[in-house]
């Protein structure tokens, strides 16, 4: 199996339709970026055996929150976390854990991003 095939399989398992939508949205403007996301992030990193998929998503949520300004990507990964069985309550608790290290503004942005998805 190629890196791309492994990555695409992993992307579908983790992100479901949300991940596919991101890749599709890049086809007309930056198709290589979509390919790199699939091959590197999902084919090389997400397939490593040392962490579970849930642990990887928890780290990803925390990283995106900490970086700030990543609400679009945070939205995709909140959907991914839900897709793999992480509860809304646990997602909020992950965000709460970040308050002492990143501050209230970034946590509020993450919580409001989650709220858009939880309250559909």
Q: Rounded to an integer, what distance in angstroms lies between the CA atom of residue 20 and that of residue 90?
A: 25
Q: Rounded to an integer, what distance in angstroms lies between the CA atom of residue 58 and that of residue 35?
A: 24
If you count DSSP H runs as helices and E runs as strands, how many of each does the chain have, helices first?
8, 0
Flag whether pLDDT at 15 surpasses 90: no
Cβ-based burial of 52 (10 A; exposed 0-12, middle 13-18, buried ≥19): exposed
Burial 10-27 (b: 16+ CB within 10 A, else e): bbeebbeebbeebbeebe
pLDDT of the residue at 74: 96
Mean pLDDT of the chain: 95
Residue range 32-54: mean pLDDT, rounded: 96
26-39: per-residue pLDDT in tens?
999 999 999 999 99
Flag whether pLDDT at 114 surpasses 90: yes
Q: What percent of the chain has pLDDT over 70?
A: 99
What is the C-alpha radius of gyration for the chain, rounded to an integer number of angstroms? 14
* Cα separation values, 31 from 19, 27, 46, 92, 117, Å: 14, 4, 20, 33, 27
Write the CB contacts of 25 (distance below 8 Å, at least 6 apart in sequence): none
pLDDT of the residue at 20: 86
């Amino acid at each position: 199996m190629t890196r791309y095939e492994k990555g695409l399989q992993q992307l579908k398992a983790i992100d479901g339709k949300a991940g596919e939508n991101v890749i599709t949205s890049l086809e007309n403007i930056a198709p290589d970026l979509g390919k790199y996301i699939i091959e590197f992030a999902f084919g090389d990193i997400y397939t490593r055996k040392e962490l579970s998929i849930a642990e990887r998503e928890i780290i990803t949520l925390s990283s995106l929150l900490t970086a700030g300004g990543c609400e679009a990507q945070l939205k995709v990964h909140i959907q991914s976390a839900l897709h793999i069985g992480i509860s809304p309550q646990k997602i909020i608790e992950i965000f709460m854990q970040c308050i002492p290290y990143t501050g209230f503004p970034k946590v509020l942005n993450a919580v409001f991003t989650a709220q858009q998805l939880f309250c559909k």
